């Protein structure tokens, strides 16, 4: 189950993003979502057409994913909240887990970073319509194809990048797998305007919290400003999958991603040891 307060003003997009975000919990383990339940906590004063738009956005994304909305539950609440409970299936012997990374693996990411800094800039009237449209398009993109690619290549290590940011969720993977992860900052994809808004430090409060908690496990090699470091802790809404791919499969994995037109960036590698290293150049 996953739900949250609105991250954008448009109710249809809000519902769609909430649905894609919840579905990612199943995709990140290599599963196939089958059914879902709406979870809605909405103000009694909210106009009916806005409620309908939220639910329609979620329903249409569920339909795209081949998922049936089988019901749900709603309560009255002064602050809107919406999301899904998702039920799916996966083979026990083909699960993607945080503990599946091994030394020598290459690390791939399926969506660029920046949703936190961009949606916060929106609240401060610092994000343009183009900035927002780019972020919304990525947040509404299902992780289905990236997950299926990982399953087709018989991979074992993956996690989705959400509220703890890239380095927070990477830290969880490193600890669960008993390995060290190394990232190459110039290879990490960023949404349009993310670096500009990072320089202006329009991050949500969760970015600073993530940095404070997870940075003790992170070493930065080279010159990388605090603002750009914070982008790596930026809380993501409906972020991409971080996938560990054995070295001998990495080239084929990238080639197949390109063939299927699945966005995929190689951003680092796995080594023996512990902790996280970010190389600035």
Same domain, 31 and 151: no
Same domain, 148 and 260: yes
Same domain, 110 and 88: no
Same domain, 58 and 196: no
Same domain, 180 and 115: yes
Per residue in 232-263, pLDDT tens?
999 999 999 999 999 999 999 999 999 999 99
Same domain, 59 and 106: no
pLDDT for 82? 98
Where residue 16 sits, what CATH number does that domain have?
3.30.1330.10
Structure tokens given for 247: 């070295």
Given a contact cutoff of 8 angstroms between Cβ atoms, the answer to whether 23 and 143 are in contact is: yes
Same domain, 210 and 252: yes
Q: Look at strands 68-76 and 218-221 and give their pairing.
A: unpaired
Given a contact cutoff of 8 angstroms between Cβ atoms, the answer to whether 35 and 95 are in contact is: no
Q: What's the alpha-carbon Rg for the chain, to the nearest Å?
A: 18
Q: Which of 93, 111, 128 is the last residue of a domain?
A: 93
What is the model's pTM? Answer: 0.97
Q: Look at strands 241-245 and 106-109 and give their pairing.
A: antiparallel
Q: Which of 26, 59, 93 is the last residue of a domain?
A: 93
Structural domain count, the chain: 2
Range of the domain at 111: 96-279
Q: How far apart are CA 10 and CA 80, in angstroms?
A: 13
Q: Which of 39, 63, 93 is the last residue of a domain?
A: 93
Taking residues 185-203, report their average pLDDT: 96
């Amino acid at each position: 189950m996953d739900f949250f307060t609105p991250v954008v003003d448009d109710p249809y997009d809000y519902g769609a993003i909430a649905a894609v975000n919840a579905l990612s919990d199943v995709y990140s383990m290599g599963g196939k979502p089958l059914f879902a339940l709406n979870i809605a906590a909405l103000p009694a004063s909210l106009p009916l057409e806005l409620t309908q738009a939220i639910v329609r956005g979620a329903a249409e994304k569920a339909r795209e994913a081949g998922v049936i909305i089988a019901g749900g539950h709603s309560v009255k609440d002064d602050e809107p909240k919406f999301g899904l409970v998702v039920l799916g299936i996966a083979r026990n012997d083909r699960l993607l887990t945080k503990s599946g990374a091994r030394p020598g693996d290459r690390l791939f990411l399926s969506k660029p970073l920046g949703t936190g800094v961009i949606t916060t800039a929106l609240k401060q009237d610092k994000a343009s319509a183009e900035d927002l449209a780019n972020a919304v398009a990525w947040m509404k993109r299902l992780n289905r194809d990236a997950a299926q690619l990982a399953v087709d290549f018989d991979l074992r290590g993956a996690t989705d990048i959400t509220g703890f940011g890239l380095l927070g969720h990477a830290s969880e993977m490193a600890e669960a797998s008993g390995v060290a992860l190394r990232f190459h900052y110039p290879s990490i994809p960023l949404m349009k305007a993310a670096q500009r808004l990072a320089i202006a430090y329009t991050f949500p409060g969760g970015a600073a919290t993530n940095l404070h908690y997870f940075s003790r496990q992170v070493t930065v090699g080279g010159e990388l400003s605090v603002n750009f470091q914070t982008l790596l802790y930026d809380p993501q809404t409906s972020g991409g999958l971080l996938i560990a791919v054995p070295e001998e499969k990495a080239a084929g994995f990238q080639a197949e991603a390109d063939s299927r037109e699945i966005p995929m960036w190689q951003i680092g590698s796995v080594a023996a040891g512990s902790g996280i290293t970010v190389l600035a150049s």
